Structure 1
Amino acid sequence: MSSRADRSTSSERMIWEIEDEKDEIEGLDESGRPDPAYAAALGMLRAPFGRRALALVIDVALWLVVQLPFWLGAVPLLLKLMTGSISAYGLVNHPSFVLAIVTTAATFALTLVLSIVQLVMHGRGGRTIGKAIVGIRSVDVRTLARPGVGRVLLRYLLMGASGIVPLIGPVLMLVSPTFDPDRRGRGLHDKATGVWLVDIRRGLNPYDDKRMRVARKLVKAEPAPERVELPSLATPQDPAVAPQYRPGSRVSAGVIGVARPHAPDSRPDIGIGQPVAPAQEAAPEAGKPVFGGYRPTGESGSVPPAATAPERPAPAPEPEPVVPAEPASVARFGLNLDTGVNIPVEGPLLLGRNPDASGHPGAQTIPVDDEARSLSKTHLLARPVDGGLEVTDCGSTNGSGLIREGIEYTLAAGSPVMVVEGDAVRFGDRLAVVVRI
């Protein structure tokens, strides 16, 4: 009995845990309202008012075209009835009565079909025929996903209800998007239904699932730490700047500086005094040899009076030797995957679900987890180059792209492209940022 009770309690706990789980909606502020800054960071832009008006004109024009059969076949006969030209009996027996009935039925059927098509397209795809032509999409302002048929139907009903107040109501509803305090172009009917119209020509298309996932990952990615610029110890390279003297290391002979080539019959001046001619020298002290005019000192460190050389100016003190700075190490780069894994690229490296290095001998293979199976078996090749990395799409199914300053450039299969620190590489649905190691 106790085991059954434990299983029952465990099942109830599991059910409650499953029911408590809710999908987290990104882009909401602390009060649960949609944050305009998040949508702007994704690259979504509000639909311009001019194109919104043009889309409305196109949709209305389509509706008027559908009404033409009724206006051409039935309205003339109805006008005769209303003006008293014919009676009700004459209307029924009029030769054009059958045509009027047919055109009226055709207009009703076409209007019903057009309305259903527009409603479903708008609710599930965020577009009507007019919006599709001008490059506008409707989204749920909170989730940035499709608005749904219910929201769109309510939006149309509110637009129709505004006609209760003739002229003033529809005009107020149409100009209300210009008074949006959030500057997102949302009118009264948009705010009541939670709909937002966005521009897909200049901004991100929210119905492009692949680009939308990449944009959300970029917004959520942690920014790379900024490198602290250290003062350079190198000699200025500007030709207008006078070069500064930098003595070399002390050589084995104790002379500061590096020897320079000279003619065989000339002796370079390296900072020591000129040799004294033998005729000007006094007789050397017994047992004390003379080296090129320089006489060694005695035991006490002073030159004996008998062997004192002619006075000459004391040489300038030699500068302290400066040890040159060691050359900076060659910069290395790596890939920071959106899974949090850092991969240093020190040689050719293949990324994919299960990379095969047979076509790239010597390349290291790195399998990448991909539950959505957006990666090819061998998807991307990366190798180090001077100043960054070189990436090549290996003919993958879903392709690869370079994202630089928020703009994605498609990588042609088999064509290597250089990427630098701060760039992002999209391969399939995965994302990797180029970082300096």
Structure 2
Amino acid sequence: MIWEIDQPEDRPDGLDAAGRPDPAYAAALGLIRAPFGRRSLAFVLDILFWVVLQLPLWIGAVPLLLKLATGTISPYGLVNHPGFVLAAVMAAITVALSLAFLIVQWVLQARRGLTIGKGFTGLRSINVRTLEKPGAGPVLLRALIVGIAGVIPVIGTAVILASPTFDPQERGRGLHDRAARMWLIDIRGGLNPYDEKRMRIARKTVKAEPIPERAERPSLATPTRPGARPDYRPGNRISAGVLGVNRAPDGSAAPAEDAPATGPGVIDAAPVAPSPAPASETPPAARIGLRFDTGETVPVTGPLLIGRDPDPASAPGAEPHRLLDESRSLSKTHALLTPTAGGLEVVDRGSTNGSAVVRAGVETTAVAGVALPAAVGDTVRLGDRLAEVVAL
């Protein structure tokens, strides 16, 4: 008998059940499709740069080739023409520059999603499934499709340029993009996926599940009708059982003879009015804590100094707390946390990778030395570490 062990499938985040890219996931990360105007401008800029590289050929070699084509000179006369050597050199310069241009464009787009035109217009190409670099093969396939379409004058190029407007997913992907599984995005108005730190934080924020709130359990004194007085209030406990108070429907204490029959463990008593609580007593405030992405919960009962190895001398009176951080995105003394009513305050201590508070998907970066408030339910970012503000 052969035992087979199912290996977990290595699937990137952001795919639906059928393995197709989910536009909602990309939108939640902050990725925005490239605008059609800037996309066309990037294409035109790449073409113009290519034309500039052809100038040595057109200026130094084409006039001599035109004389050969019109019969003004013979092939023998072409080779022995005084300008033949210059024409050959100019043609070789154009070929060398064009080849270098194509290789640089190919490598840059495969590894960084970047061309000269995309760099000027703030666009990047990514793999639509992994949301990472597209790779050399897809970039080459995409370029070949554009080149083949250009064989048909005007019409072929026009179809390629107009095809992003007919994307059924409304993500601005043209025919060549869909064939190569690529997506062109705007990094000026949205997230730059090649910023590894920001991308990692965005994935963690989207992937993190909200912590379910603890359901409030009603007590015996909780009224079922708003504004109504409780029908029953437990009395003091004694060794024989519970001394209860029966109340009439109008809220007043019922006569002793109307009380239910006594039983084992229950003692009838005269109506006892509830003693009012002292005016000085107030309900205790909820304790605040941070629940980190590793599952660790750190209570914030007083000023807390967070970091890989916080220096207590930098914040007298604050309790230092070490956090494990394999990525070393945390500074030794990263931030000072101070509990407040309903949350806490985050004071960045000049850390290298900064601190921020994320509320409703919007991140507010902390300025070093300035307190940034965070309420229960917000997410605090310390470097690459994420923690939710919770009530303990």
The answer to whether TM tops 0.5 is yes
Q: Which residue of 2 aligns with 1:223?
A: 210
Distance in 1 of aligned mates of 2:390 and 2:157 = 55
Alignment of 1:57-72 (within 5 A): 57-72=44-59
Shift of 1:339: 1.2
Instruction: Give the C-alpha shift of residue 328 in structure 1.
Output: 4.4
1: CA distance between counterparts of 2:56 and 2:390?
66
Aligned pair partner of 1:74 in 53, 61, 80: 61
Q: Matched residues, percent identical? A: 59
5 Å matches for 1:244-283? none
Matching of residues 28-427 of structure 1 within 5 Å: 28-225=15-212, 327-427=282-382
The CA deviation at 1:227 is 8.5
Q: What is the rounded CA distance, in whole Å, between the counterparts of 1:333 and 1:321 in structure 2? A: 33
Whole-Å Cα distance in 1 between the matches of residues 44 and 137 of structure 2?
23
| Whole-angstrom distance in 2 between the partners of 1:412 and 1:227 | 34
Cα pair distance change 1:22/1:372, threshold 3 Å? farther
C-alpha separation in 2, matches of 1:322 and 1:171 = 85
Q: How many Å separate the matches in 1 of 2:389 and 2:47?
A: 50
> Who is 1:289 aligned against?
none
- Distance change >3 Å, CA 90–CA 352, structure 1 → 2: same
d(CA) in 2 for partners of 1:184, 1:134: 18
Describe the shift of the 1:418–1:121 C-alpha distance in structure 2 as closer, same or farther (beyond 3 A): same
The letter of the residue matching 1:401 is: A
Letter in structure 1 aligned against 2:367? A
CA deviation vs aligned residue, 1:252-288 (integer Å, no higher than 9, x gap): xxxxxxxxxxxxxxxxxxxxxxxxxxxxxxxxxxxxx
Residue 411 of structure 1, CA deviation: 2.1
CA offsets 1:97-148 (integer angstroms, 9 cap, x no match): 1111111000000001111111111000011011011111111101000001
Deviations along 1:174-211, one digit per CA (max 9) or x if unpaired, are: 21111111111111111111101111111111011111
CA 352–24 in structure 1, closer or farther in 2 if over 3 Å, else same? farther
**Amino acid corresponding to residue 422 of structure 1 in structure 2:** G
Measure, in 1, the Cα distance between the counterparts of 2:368 and 2:59. Answer: 58
| 103-112 vs 339-348, greater mean Cα deviation | 339-348
Q: Which amino acid aligns with 2:302?
A: G
Q: CA deviation at 1:331?
A: 4.1
- Describe the SS at the equivalent of 1:435: strand
Change in Cα spacing, 1:94 to 1:184, as seen in structure 2 (3 Å) is same
More strand by share: 2
Shift, 1:361, TM fit = 2.8
Measure, in 1, the Cα distance between the counterparts of 2:294 and 2:99: 50
Provide the rounded CA distance (Å) in 2 between the counterparts of 1:46 and 1:34: 14
Displacement of 1:389? 0.9
Q: TM-score, normalised by structure 1?
A: 0.71
List runs of 5+ in structure 2 lacking aligned partners.
218-272
Q: What is the CA deviation profile of residues 304-354 of structure 1, one whole-angstrom value per residue up to 9, with x for unaligned ones?
A: xxxxxxxxxxxxxxxx99958974443442212111222221101122223
SS in 2 for 1:118: helix
Letter in 2 for 1:333: I
Displacement of 1:20 in angstroms is 4.6
- TM-score, normalised to structure 2, is 0.79
Aligned to 1:139, the other structure's residue is in SS state strand
Q: CA RMSD in A?
A: 2.6
Between the aligned partners of 1:203 and 1:108, the Cα distance in structure 2 is 38
Give how far 1:409 is off: 2.9
Shift, 1:96, TM fit: 1.6
Q: Distance in 2 between matches of 1:433 and 1:425?
A: 6
For the residue of structure 2 that corresponds to 1:50, the secondary structure is helix
DSSP-derived class of the 1:369 partner: coil
The one-letter code matched in structure 2 to 1:355 is P
- The Cα of 1:414 is off from its aligned counterpart by 2.4
Is the alpha carbon distance of 1:358 and 1:124 closer, same or farther for their aligned partners in structure 2, counting shifts above 3 Å?
same
Aligned: 1:431 with 2:386: yes
Structure 2: how far apart are the matches of 1:425 and 1:102?
A: 62
> Deviations along 1:20-60, whole A, 9 cap, x unmatched?
56534111100011111100111111111111001001111
- Whole-angstrom CA distance in 2 between matches of 1:99 and 1:322: 109
Q: Distance in 1 between matches of 2:214 and 2:72?
A: 90
Whole-Å separation in 2 of the counterparts to 1:74 and 1:164: 24
Counterpart CA distance in 2 for 1:404 and 1:394 is: 21
User: How much has 1:393 moved relative to structure 2?
Assistant: 1.5
2: distance between equivalents of 1:383 and 1:367?
A: 16
Deviation at 1:89, TM superposition (A): 2.0
**Shift in Å, 1:88:** 1.6
Deviations 1:64-114 (A, max 9, x none): 000011011111111111112222222222222111111100000000111
